[in-house]
Amino acid sequence: MYKITTFIILGILVLSVQLQAQEVREKTLDYNVDGGVYLDLALGNSISVKGWDKNKIYIKTTVEINGGRLNKALEMTYDKWGNQIRISSDLNESILKTGRRGDCDGSYDRYNSVMNGRRYYACYSIRHEVYMPKNARLKLKAINPKVTLDNLFGDLRINTVNGSINMDTPQIRPNQNLEFKTVNGRIDFTIPASANTEVEMSTVNGHIYSGFKPKPKRKNGMYRIGGSRFNQNIRMTLGKGKAFTELKTVNGRIYLRKGK
């Protein structure tokens, strides 16, 4: 009983220290119904974007850099460009260069660099949670974060380098344009079985998996539905094809799943 109690107390203490190291930043912005949203959130672990019925944008960022010691290195900017809302993040190099190897354990994403002949270490856990009008246009750029999208029905342009792009949508609206592109990440997109959209999927070194069977094109008595081992391209029309969907990756896999 004594050992169990001791472990519980130690667990509470560890959790308390972790919570103290984390910093939570929140921001709410008014949204113009004719505008769009641009999220330029380079580094991080995850970005979650959800649509709601309010004409407001809310972003919650949870950050922990080098055990909380360098949290101020994450700089967030909230701008208005005409009718467009732009939210961006950057890392202050002058703060990061004070990072020490001892700040970091194995539970963070990390990198190290050399500045003026001196090596510095940074480890971070950065999570963004965004709520925005569900019919608004969204442009999102990121490097490493896993991107998850939900309940969004405006035009979407999502670009990552290493992060995956994930979405399960109950509908694709007429004339909606969906563009998901990544270099090394995976694209996992679930759409209704009754979706009406043109679909283009391509990958250089990855693979394409689809719950929808493409209609093969015939040439010289042969059917072609994909490509060679490299440079695979698939085009198909689902339903009446009123919307347009483009899924593109260089090295990652593409999953186009059939929902309900």
Give the tens place of pLDDT for each residue, 223-252: 445 555 667 889 999 999 999 999 999 999
Contact criterion met (CB below 8 Å) for 140 and 146: no
pLDDT attached to residue 15: 40
pLDDT attached to residue 14: 40
What CA–CA distance (Å, rounded) separates 142 from 133? 21
Helix (H, G, I), strand (E, B) or coil at 55: coil
Contact criterion met (CB below 8 Å) for 250 and 204: yes
- DSSP element (H, E) containing 57: strand 56-65
pTM score of the predicted model = 0.85
Q: Which two tokens stand for residue 170?
A: 């109950």
Ranges of the chain with pLDDT below 50: 6-17, 223-224
pLDDT attached to residue 99: 86
Best CA proximity match to 44, nearest among 164, 180, 179, 212: 164
- DSSP element (H, E) containing 253: none
pLDDT attached to residue 180: 99
pLDDT attached to residue 8: 45
pLDDT attached to residue 223: 47
| Boundaries of every domain in the chain | 23-158, 164-260
Contact criterion met (CB below 8 Å) for 243 and 178: yes
